[in-house]
Structure 1
Amino acid sequence: MCRWLAYSGTPVLLDSLLYRPAHSLIDQSLHSRMGVETTNGDGFGIGWYSTGLPTPAVVRDTGPAWNNRNLREISSHIRSHLFFAHIRASTGSAIQQTNCHPFRHGRWLWMHNGAISEFQRLRRDLCLRIDPSLFADIEGSTDSEVMFYLALTYGLDQDPPAAVARMAGHVETLGRDHGVENPLQMTVAVTDGDGLWVFRYSSERRSRSLYYSAEVETLRGLHPDLKFLDGLSDDSRLVVSEPLSGLPGAWFEVPEATYGLVRGSGDFLQPFVPLTEDSVAVP
C-alpha cells in the first residue's frame, strides 16, 4: 500500500513536514509502522497550490523518496498553504510516473491508499462508466486513477462527498456482481485548492490507518515549547496515514467509515456510506 500527507493552513515550507518531523513522510518511506509494507519505495509525488494560480503544480518520480535530491531541493524552497505528498508501494500496477500520486485534473488533486480488489478483472467495466469526455485524460494504469475519474464522472465539481460515495457504491456493486466479497479499500484525500476532503472506508470495515492533527490552539496548550506552532494560524490542519511524531495529544484517528471537510476547528467528521445507483440518480 502507500502513505500520504495532506496539509491545509498557514503557508509553510514543504520540508517542514516532509523531512523535519521525527517520523516524517520521508522516514515512513523506509520505516512505515502502520502500513502493509515497511518500505514504500515505488515512487512519490507532491502537489501544491500557489496563490493566484488556477491549477496546482505536481512533481512525481518513480524512484524512492528517501534519496531523491530534487525532492529535497525543491521542498526547502516551496511554500504553500495547501499541499499533498504521497509515497507509493505498488499493489501490482507498473512503476511509472503516470502511476504516481497525486493525480491532477484541472484544479483538482487526488491521492489514495488502498486498492480495488481484483482490479484487473473489474477494470474494463469500471472504465466504461467513466464519462467519455474525461476518459482520454487518464494517463496511467492504476485503480486509484480510475477511482478519481469515476468520482469526477459522478459530480466531484458539484458535491465531493456524494461523488466519492457514488464512486465507492459503484465499485462495490460491480465487484460483488463479479464475486468479489470485499471490493474496496481506501483512504482518500481530494482537494480543489479551497476545500480539502478526506475519506476512510473499506468494504470489510478494516480500513488502512488515517489520523488528523489536533487543533493548533490545543497543541500550543499541550506543548508550549514547540516554536513551530507560533507561526501557524488556528485553521492549520494535517491529515496523515500515520502520525509524524509521538507527541501526546497531537493526533486523533479518523474513525472507520468516515469522511470530513478539513477545517481548522470543530468536529469535521461525518459517517461515510457508499451510494448505489438504486439510492441516487446518476448524473
Structure 2
Amino acid sequence: MCRHLAYLGAEEPLGRLLVEPAHSLLRQSWAPRRQRYGTVNADGFGVGWYAPGDPVPARYRRAGPVWADLSFADLARVVRSGAVLAAVRDATLAGADAEAAAAPFAADRWLFSHNGAIAGWPDAAAPLASALPPVDLLSLQARTDSAFVWALVLHRLRTGDEPDRALGETVRALAEAAPASRLNLLLTDGATISATTWGDSLWYRTDPGRSTVVASEPYDDDPLWQEVPDRTVLTASRAGVLLTPLEDPASASPKEPCR
C-alpha cells in the first residue's frame, strides 16, 4: 500500500536518498521488506523537494513504475536538496487519475503522502465531506482516498492547526468513521516533518543537529534506525524526533452524561 520517505538535512542528490541505498525507495517499488499490504508499488511515484530561498516545493510525478522512468534517473543524479518527500504507489482501486493520484500532494509550502487506505471508500468517508468547504471538494487533486485525506489535512492547516494536530485529528476522525482504515500520513514544509502511524510500518533515523529521515521502512541496515510504535504522531526536525501516542477513538472511555 505504498512506501514513502521524508528527509531533512544537508543538501544531497536525490539519487543518494532514493536510488543508491541497498534497500532504497526505488527498490521498495518492487521488493519492499516490511510492507504488510500489497507487494509491488508500480502504480505511480513522485518526489517533491525544496530549493534554497524558495518555500514552495517542486515536484516530479508519473503514473507508471519508477524503475521505468529514465527521466527520473537523470533528475535524481543532478538535483540536490536538503528537504525531500518521495513516495511509490500501490493503488487501492483502479482509476483514471494517472499521475494526479501519485504522492506527494502539494499546496502552499506543504508536501503530503498517505500510506494506507480508507476502509469502505468512498461510502465510509462520505460523512466527513461535510467538514470541507464545497470549493475544497471541487478542488480535489484526484478521486482517491489519499487525495481526500490530504484535503482534510490541508483544511485544518489553513484554519490554524499545527501540523501534528492536523494529522492526528484527521486520523482520529477517519478511524472513527472507517475503523479498519490504515492511515500512515507524512507531511513536510521543508523545515519540519510530521507523520502518523496507524496500521502500517514507520521508521526514523536521526543524526541530531545534522539530518533526520522518516520512512515506511529502513533503506539500509544502519542500526540507528528506530521503529515508531503504532498509533503515534511523530514530529521531527534536523534537531531530533518527538513521539506522541495517538488515542484510538474506539478505546476512548465514554463520557459521563451531564447531571
TM-score computed with the length of structure 2 as normaliser: 0.88
Pair 1:16–1:209, CA change in 2 (3 A): same
Q: Which of 174, 177, 180 lines up with 1:174 in the alignment?
A: 177
RMSD of aligned residue pairs (Cα, Å):
2.1
Partner of 1:186: 183
Instruction: State the alpha-carbon separation in 2 of the partners of residues 73 and 267 from structure 1.
Output: 32
User: What does 1:1-283 correspond to in 2, within 5 Å?
Assistant: 1-35=1-35, 36-94=37-95, 96-155=98-157, 157-175=160-178, 182-201=179-198, 207-215=199-207, 234-247=209-222, 249-273=223-247
Structure 2 Cα separation of the partners of residues 274 and 133 of structure 1? 30
Q: Which runs of 5 or more structure 1 residues have no equivalent in the other structure? A: 176-181, 202-206, 217-233
Query: C-alpha displacement at 1:93, in angstroms?
Result: 4.3
Say if 1:192 and 1:270 are closer, same or farther in 2 by CA, change over 3 A.
same
Change (3 A) 1:49 1:274: farther
Question: 1:8 deviation in Å?
Answer: 0.6
Compute the TM-score of the two structures, normalised by the length of structure 1.
Answer: 0.81
- 1:267 Cα offset (Å): 4.8
Question: Judging changes above 3 Å, is the alpha-carbon distance between structure 1 residues 93 and 191 closer, same or farther for their aligned structure 2 residues?
Answer: farther
**Contiguous gaps of at least 5 residues in structure 2:** none
Paired with 1:97 and 1:29, the residues of 2 have a C-alpha distance of 16
Q: Please say if residues 21 and 244 of structure 1, whose CA atoms lie closer than 8 Å, have aligned partners that are also in contact.
A: yes
Stretches of 4+ aligned residues off by more than 6 angstroms: none
Asked whether the 8 Å contact 1:171–1:183 carries over to 2, the reply is no
| Secondary structure class of the residue paired with 1:30 | coil
Q: Is the 8 A contact 2:200 2:230 kept in 1?
A: no
Give the CA deviation at 1:148: 1.2
Cα distance per residue 1:8-34 (max 9 Å; x no partner)? 111111000111111111111111121
Contact 1:168 1:274 (8 Å CA) reproduced? no
Q: Does the 8 A contact of 1:126 with 1:146 survive in 2?
A: no
Aligned length: 249
